[in-house]
Chains A and B, each alone.
Chain A
C-alpha cells in the first residue's frame, strides 16, 4: 500500500523519509513541489497527485506535508486517514520522550485498545462534552444554515479493566454518531447507552451531530456596516456584537477575523475593548475581543483606506467568529449517569460542558 513516506517542512525541505518496500528516490517529490507551486496556497495542494510511476497522497498538518508514495490502486481515504493517524500519534508521542522498550503487546490483549495491568492510585474519569456551532449568517442577520456538532472527549485513568456505561437524559437529540471502536454498537442501537471498556488516557469517545429538526440557538449577533465609496478612497468599517441566546452564560474568548479585499491599503480602527491587528500584507483583520459584556457591547469602528485609483471592491468581506461558552452544551444534551462495572474501587468522575464556535461565518 504505502511505499514510502516523506515529511516536508514549510521551507520545502524533505526532512524525514521512510521506506517500507523498496527505496523510492526522493526526487519523486519534485512532482509534489510542482503541484505546490501551482496551488499557491498550501491548503490547495491536491491531496492526490498522479505522476508517471507513482501516486502521491498527502496531508497537510502543523505546517508539515506528509507525502505518501503509492504504486498501485488503493482507496485514497485509506491512506489519508492513515496519515492523519500517524500525525495524531506523533502528537501524542512527542509528549513523552522514550523509545518504547516493549514489544507491541497491545496486539495480543483481550481488548486491543487497552494495555493490560494498568494501575493508578487515584482512579479518575473525566468527560468533556464539547459542542461546536457551524453557521452561516447572511448579511441581514438571518441564519442561512446552522448546525451543532459535538464530541465527547474522555480522559480516563482507571485501574484494571473497568467497564463503563454512560447514559444521556436526552439521547434522541443525537442524530448521527460515530464511535471509538471500544463502544458497543448493539447496546447503543437498542438502549441508547454508551457501553465500553475505555482505552487508557485521552481518547475521543463519541462524535455526534444534533438532529436538524432542532433549531440551533445562535449565541451572538453581529451588526456590521462596511462600506466602500466609489468617489473617495476611504471606506467605513463598523462592527458591534452582542449576546443573543446564551442561556444566561457569558460568551468569552471572542475573536473576530476578516479577510479584507486586496484594494484595502490600511484600516484605522478603534475598538471599545480588546486588541486588533490589521496585516497590510495578508489583508487580514483580527480583533481579539475577549468577553462580551451585555451592558457594554464591544464594537470596532473606523475608516478603511483604499488604494487610490482603483474602483471600489465588489465584494464585502466575510466575518469569521470564534467564541466559547463554558458550562453549556448548546443543544441541551445532558449526561444522565456514568457507571462503572468490573472493578471494585470507587472512581472519581467528572463531566464538563462547553460550547464553541465552529465554522461560524457572517456574510456582509
Chain B
C-alpha cells in the first residue's frame, strides 16, 4: 500500500552499505542489477522436484525479502509451490505470498484454492495456518471468501482455529471497513467463547473493530474477569485495558464520597440505599444526607482478579494492572501497585523509560504511594540521561516537607555530575522544590545563589533563570541577591541568563536604586554586541528606569533607544519605537502615556513552576497517547465516571445451549489447564482433576462455592436463571454481603446462605481465597476506623519515613581534604539555612542525628526504646521540642497499650505524650513523636513508659543545642541583632581547631550537629555565622566562629540566655574538637 516495490528497492539498494558483502550470494541484487540470471537459478531450483532444492531456494528468497531486496519477479515460480507437500517449503511459500500477494493480485488468486482446501483440513493446525495466510493476503477481491472463512472458523471445534479467526478479523476490517457489521456479529459470537485461548484475541479484534460497542461486553464481563489470570500474557494486557474503559462507563467512582466516607465511615460502609426502608441500621445512612457509596460487586471482582497479575514477569501486564488500579480503585487500595512498578525499574532501560513516565504522572496525584520507595528513584551516574531526567521529575514530585532535606542532599550530589544537561535539570528541580515547599524556599534560594559562583557557566546561567523565577515570589526580601546578580552581568555570557538578570533589575529597580542605573550604563556600552533577547531586556530596563528614576537615566535611555532604533533586528527597532512613544511624553503621545508606569510596573504574577506531567492522567495511563501527551491515532478516550450507575443487571448471564458442549469438550480435551489462581476461574474442576496439590490449597481458602464459576458449573447458572426474580430481591442482601461479607466471611460459611442461587460474580466475591479474604478484611477494618484514626495512620506513614533520615553511621573520612571544598561551600546553602528546616536531619554528610537510649533492651525486658531530636517544629505547639521515639519489640509476645504515664515534669515543663500504641507485634518497630517543653532548660523530663504489663521509669535530658530552632536571617540582620546583644550577653572563647576539623564542610557539620542552628550567609571567608531561637522563649542565639591564623579560632555567642550561651560554648568546642 504505502510503498511501491521499485521505490523500496531503490532505497534498499542505495542505503545499504553492506551491499558488497552480499555480492557472492546468488539471491542478492534487485531487478536493476545484472544478475537476472541468478534469479533464473532460483527459479530452476523451485521448479525441480527435489524438496531440498526448493527449500534452499525458498530460504534464499525469504532472506532476500528480509534484507529488503525485491523478489517480486519470482512470484509465478514461487506460487506454484503453494501446494507443495513439504511443510517446511510450504511455510516459506506462505511467508513469500503474504509479502507479495498485494502487488500481484491476479497471480495471487491462483493460490486461493489451496487455502480454501486447507481450511477443511482435518488437522487443526493446518486449518489455522490456512486461515492465517488467507487473511493476510491483502487482495480486495477475496474479501467475501475471507468473510466466509472467518465465519466458519469462528465455529470451529478447535479453540486454536477460533483464536486464528479472531486474529483474522482486524485484518479483514483494515482491508474493507464495509464488513464491519458482519464482523461485529462474529466478534459477538467469539466474545461468548469460554476458552482462555480465544479471549485475548477476540478482545483485540473488538478493540480494533468496534471499541464503542461496550454493550457487547456486558454479558461477557464476569467471564472475562474470571478467565483473565489464565489468558496468555499479551491477551491479558488487551483485556485489562479494555475492561478499564468498560468499568469507567458502568460503575461509580469509588472515591466520589471520599469526604463523606471519612466523616461517616461506618454508616457509609454498612448502608446501601435500597435497605433504607427496611433496615433499621440503614436509618443512619439517611441521616448522612448523601447517597452512600457501595461498590458494585462486579467492580470489586475486576479489582480482585487483576491484582495477582501485578506479579507477572511481563512488564506490559504489570503496567496494565497498575493503570487499572490507578483509574478504578478506591484511593486506599491504589498503593499496592507502587511496589510492582518500582520492580519494573530493574528492567531494561526502555521499560524504565516508559514506567518512569507513568510514575511521574501518578506521583503528582498520589504522592504518598511512592514515598516509601523514594530511594529507588535515586540517580546513578551510569543511568542514561533520559532516565536521569525522568527520575529527577519523580523525585521532585515526591518532595514534601518531610523528605525535602534528604532530596536536596541528593540534588547536591547531582549538581556535581559530569552530565551537564542533567545538572541543568537538577537546578530546575531545585527551583520547583522551592516553589512548592515554602519552608525551603530560602534555603534553596541561598543554595542557588552560591551556585552563581560556580565555574561552569551553564550551571550559573541555569541558576540565574531559576533564581529569577523564585525572586518574583517575594522580591522585597532579596535585594541583596538582586545586587549580587547585578554584579554577574560582568561575567555571565549566556544570553538567557543575562536577559533574566536585566529583567530582574528592571522589575525591582526600586529595591536597588543605586545599582540599577549603573547596570544600564554598562549595558548601553555593550548594547551593540548583545544577543537579541538581551537587547530587548536592556530596552525594557531602560524604560522602567526612565519611569522610576528619570533624573539619572533619561540620557541613558535616550541613548539606548537610539541605538535600538537602528538595530538590524526589526523586532528590536519596533520595540524601541513602541517604548519611546509610550514613555516619553510628547504632544502626540496621548492618553497611554499617563498609564506607562502602570503598564510597565504592574504587579506581575509569579510564574508557576509545575511538572510537565501534571494532569496527564486524563490520558489512560500506560497508553502511547499518555507517553506522547498527545492523542495517538485510534486512542479511545477514558470516559469519566457516570453520575448514576447504569443498570448492573445487564451483566447477568443466561446460559446458552452450546456452553455445555464446549465445556464438556474442553474437559475431555483438557485444553485448559490454568496454573495461576483458579478459585474464580472456570478451571476449578479441570484443575482439581489434574493437580492434587493445587486443588487442595484452593479449597482451604474458599470453601465449597469456590468451584462454582461461570463455565464450570452451568447447572448452578441455570438455577440462577430460573431464580432471576428472586435474585433481584436478593440483590440488596448481596450488596450488603459484598461490603461486610468479607468481614464476616470467616464466621459465615457460604453454604449457610439459605441455599439460594447466586450469580457467579457474587460467589466469586464472597468465596475468595484465604489470602484475599484476610486482605479485604483488613481493608474493611481500616475503613471502619474513624476519620481521626485514618489521619493518624497517614501521619504514621510520614513518621515512619523518618527512618530514612536516620543516617547510616558516618565513618569519618580520614582524608577530608579530598572533598572539593569549593562545591561544598557552593552548596551548603541548600541545606543549612532555614528556620523551619532541620539541618541535622538533612544529611550524614553534614551532621549526624544522634540517637539516645531511653530504655535498654535488657532493662526493658526485650523492649528497646531509643529517641532522637527530630529537629522539626512539633506539630501543634511551637514551644515544644519534637522528640522522635523508636520502640522495638524484641520479645516473643505482642506488647499492648504502650503509652506514657504519669509525667512528672518540673515546674513549667510540659509533656505532650504520643498517642497510645495499641499493639506492637514481636520484632516490630514503631516510631512515634512526642513533644516536650523544656522551658529552655537542660533539666531532664521524667515520665513512665507503660505497657499492658509493665512500667518503666525513663527520662529525657536534652543537650542544650536541641533547645533551639534555626532562624534564617541576612547578614545585616545578624549584625544588627548582634549589636543589641553585647556585654553581658556575649561570651567569647578561643579554641584550636584540630587538624580534622579544618575544612568548611567539617566545621559546619560539627557545629550543626552540636546545635540546631541555621547558617547565616557571611561575606568574610574566615567567618561562620549561625542563628537560632530558643524553642520556649524565642530568645535569639547568635553564633560566630572566626578563624585566625593557623588553626586558631574564636567562638562568640550572643544570647540573653547566659546559661544557654555558656553551655553551648562548651558543647560546640567539644564538638569541634572531635
Contacts and interface: CB of A to CB of B under 8 A. Distances in A.
B691 interface: yes
A141 B313 contact: no
19 contacts: A20-B136, A21-B174, A23-B8, A24-B3, A41-B384, A41-B385, A77-B315, A84-B348, A103-B126, A103-B129, A110-B671, A136-B380, A139-B845, A141-B811, A145-B378, A184-B675, A184-B676, A186-B676, A317-B418
Interface string B67-90: 110000000000000000001100
B316 A176 contact: no
Nearest to A104: B125
Given A21-B174, A176-B340, A359 B382 contact: yes
Nearest to B99: A19
A73 B633 contact: yes
Contacts of A224: 818
Given A14-B16, A73-B623, A314-B822, A197 B353 contact: no
Interface string B311-322: 111111011100
B66 A17 contact: yes
Interface stretch (A44-52, A266-274, A289-297, A345-353): A44-52
B456 to A, nearest CB: 6
Given A139-B819, A186-B694, A207-B313, A181 B386 contact: no
A160 B426 CA distance: 57
Nearest to A208: B343
B2 interface: yes
Given A46-B353, A58-B350, A314-B823, A181 B673 contact: no
Interface in A53-108: 55, 58-61, 70-78, 80-82, 84, 99, 101, 103-105, 107-108
Q: Which of B233, B313, B812, B823 has the most CB of A within 10 A?
A: B313
A179 B627 contact: no
Interface in A113-152: 136, 138-145, 147, 149
A57 to B, nearest CB: 8
B812 A225 contact: no
A261 B455 CA distance: 14
Given A75-B624, A141-B811, A259-B381, 9 more contacts: A47-B349, A71-B634, A72-B632, A73-B625, A81-B314, A99-B88, A165-B693, A313-B418, A314-B454
Interface in B764-781: 769-771
B698 A186 contact: yes
Interface string A291-327: 0000000000000000000010111111010000000
Contacts of A190: 697, 700-701, 769-771
A363 interface: yes
A177 B314 CA distance: 12
Contacts of A110: 670-671, 673, 690
A78 B237 contact: yes
Contact of A76 (B416, B627, B630): B627
Contact of B386 (A46, A76, A204): A46
Contacts of B232: 112
Q: Which of B3, B350, B679 has the most CB of A within 10 A?
A: B350
A226 interface: yes
A129 B671 CA distance: 33
B671 to A, nearest CB: 7
A361 B378 CA distance: 12
B573 to A, nearest CB: 35
B395 to A, nearest CB: 12
Contacts of A34: none
Contacts of B171: 21
A101 B87 contact: yes
Contacts of A276: none
Contacts of B315: 77, 80-81
Given A50-B628, A73-B623, A226-B818, A25 B3 contact: yes
B234 A78 contact: yes
A13 B820 contact: no
B818 A364 contact: yes
Ordered nearest first, which 3 A-B pairs have the shortest CB separation?
Answer: A72-B634, A25-B3, A22-B1
Q: Which of B68, B382, B384 has the most CB of A within 10 A?
A: B68
B489 to A, nearest CB: 21
A33 to B, nearest CB: 10
Interface string B231-246: 0111001000100000
B907 interface: no
A182 interface: yes
Interface in B84-98: 87-88
Contacts of A181: 233, 312-313, 675-676
Interface of A: 11-27, 41, 43-44, 46-48, 50, 55, 58-61, 70-78, 80-82, 84, 99, 101, 103-105, 107-108, 110-112, 136, 138-145, 147, 149, 163, 165, 175-187, 189-191, 195-197, 204, 207, 209, 223-227, 259, 261-262, 311, 313-318, 320, 341, 359, 361, 363-364
A179 B349 CA distance: 21
A13 B18 contact: yes
A91 to B, nearest CB: 14
Contacts of B354: 47-48, 76-77, 80
Nearest to A47: B350
Interface stretch (B578-586, B802-810, B1032-1040, B1060-1068): B802-810
A262 B691 CA distance: 62
B138 interface: yes
A26 B68 contact: yes
A73 B635 contact: yes
Interface string B405-438: 0000010010011100000000000000000000
Contact of B808 (A47, A142, A149): A142
Contacts of B273: none
Interface string B3-16: 10001100110011
A88 to B, nearest CB: 11
Contact of A17 (B68, B234, B343, B694): B68
A185 B633 contact: no
Nearest to B923: A213
B229 interface: yes
B311 A178 contact: yes
A22 B68 contact: no
B124 interface: yes
A31 B542 CA distance: 46
B591 interface: no
Contacts of A313: 418
Nearest to B343: A176
Given A11-B17, A17-B67, A46-B386, A186 B88 contact: no
Contacts of A24: 2-3
Given A101-B88, A177-B311, A141 B628 contact: no
A279 to B, nearest CB: 15
Given A21-B174, A141-B811, A77 B319 contact: yes
A254 to B, nearest CB: 17
A219 to B, nearest CB: 16
Contacts of B676: 181, 183-186
B637 to A, nearest CB: 11
A75 B1 contact: no
A83 B671 CA distance: 28
A187 B354 CA distance: 32
B235 to A, nearest CB: 11
A196 B675 contact: yes
Contact of A182 (B7, B59, B174, B675): B675
A233 to B, nearest CB: 16
Contacts of B418: 259, 261-262, 313, 315, 317
A345 to B, nearest CB: 19
A81 B673 contact: no
Contacts of B416: 314-316
A177 B819 CA distance: 40
A74 to B, nearest CB: 6
